[in-house]
Amino acid sequence: MGLPPEHRFPVSKYRLIRESLQKDSRFTFHPAPLATRDELARAHDPHYVDAVIHGTLTPAAIRRIGFPWSPQLVQRTLASAGATLAATQTALTINVSGALAGGTHHAFYAEGSGFCVFNDIAVAIAHLRATTTLTRFSVIDLDVHQGDGTAQIFANDPEVLTLSLHGQNNFPFRKQQSTIDVALPDHTNDAEYLAALEEVLPKAFAHNPDFVFYQSGVDPLKEDTLGKLDLTMAGLKTRDEMVFTAVRRHAAPLVITIGGGYANPIELTAAAHAQTYQLCASLFFS
């Protein structure tokens, strides 16, 4: 991505997750295709898409994203959205798939924010609407940060339910309105978190989605340096299990994206992300 060495974005976790899952023969890997300009422009302002690709964003717009613009950043950004698109296409056939990136939920219709350039899940929903007869979607966003971009993009779209459980004192400090928001206080523990999830999760399925997206950010982990919640690895596992069990019962296709995770050491974050995918394989493919 051409980031300076002191940048806080944890680039190494992506490689660590892949290396960990490659030891597990249940997974098949495909290199991410690059999302095209037209695929991105289904969900985003075409002028914004062009400005990202051609490097003509304003300095303020680049600062809000939090990455310096570079040709490598564009490649990485297109591959990240492309991975979610490819996973979406695959899930139509085998029911469950995932991207080892994505969940870039702070990207709005016409601007990026918080390490998110394009909103991959919004791009995937627009793709499904353009290429299939599916119309109803649920986005389950359990990253510790509110899915503000996703909430804004679908604010006036009753066929897309957005559910966000997040830390009330975590970024973004000006929250948007999701279909369902649960703002949790600092130091929320496993039991409190799981009780809150249990209460709202059925609503994501009462919506009767044709397709489910899971933003499975692991930054609610106690050791996370950005999140303010106190979940354990076991708590995250139960959280994921609740989501997967509900998706299985509803029998809609599922795409998982990884979202955030900034623990110190970063190996802990990578292990938490790998745990999500391993649990998914156990529940759906064993």
- What is the binding site for Zn ion (CB under 5 A)? 143, 145, 217, 219, 260
Least distance in angstroms from the C-beta of 220 to Zn ion: 9
Secondary structure class of 37 (helix, strand, coil): helix
Instruction: Name the minimum Å distance from CB 182 to Zn ion.
Output: 15
Nearer to Zn ion, 73 or 221 (CB): 221
**Closer residue to Zn ion (CB): 149 or 209:** 149
Taking the complex as a whole, the smallest distance from the CB of residue 258 to Zn ion amounts, in Å, to 10
Task: Using alpha carbons, list the distances in angstroms from residue 202 to 8, 120, 163, 182, 205.
Answer: 36, 24, 11, 14, 5
Residue closer to Zn ion by CB (options 190, 219) is: 219
Distance in Å, CB of 214 to Zn ion, minimum: 14
Distance, in Å, from the CA atom of 63 to the CA atom of 233, rounded to the nearest integer, reads: 33
Q: How far is the CB of 174 from Zn ion (least distance, A)?
A: 16
Which of 106, 127 has the CB closer to Zn ion? 106
Quote the CA–CA distance of 70 and 185 in Å, as a whole number: 37
Cis before 4? omega within 30: no
- Cβ closest to Zn ion, residue 129 vs residue 222: 222
Closest CA to 71 of 92, 52, 43: 52
* CB 246, min distance to Zn ion, A: 22
The residue whose Cβ lies closest to Zn ion is 260
Could you give the dihedral angle defined by the CA atoms of residues 102, 40, 177 and 197, in that order, rounded to the nearest 10 degrees?
-30
- Kindly report the backbone phi and psi dihedral angles of residue 274, in degrees, each rounded to the nearest multiple of 5, phi listed first: -60, -40
Q: From CA 243, how far away is CA 140, in angstroms rounded?
A: 8
Identity of the residue, 7 or 250, whose beta carbon is nearer to Zn ion in the bound complex: 7
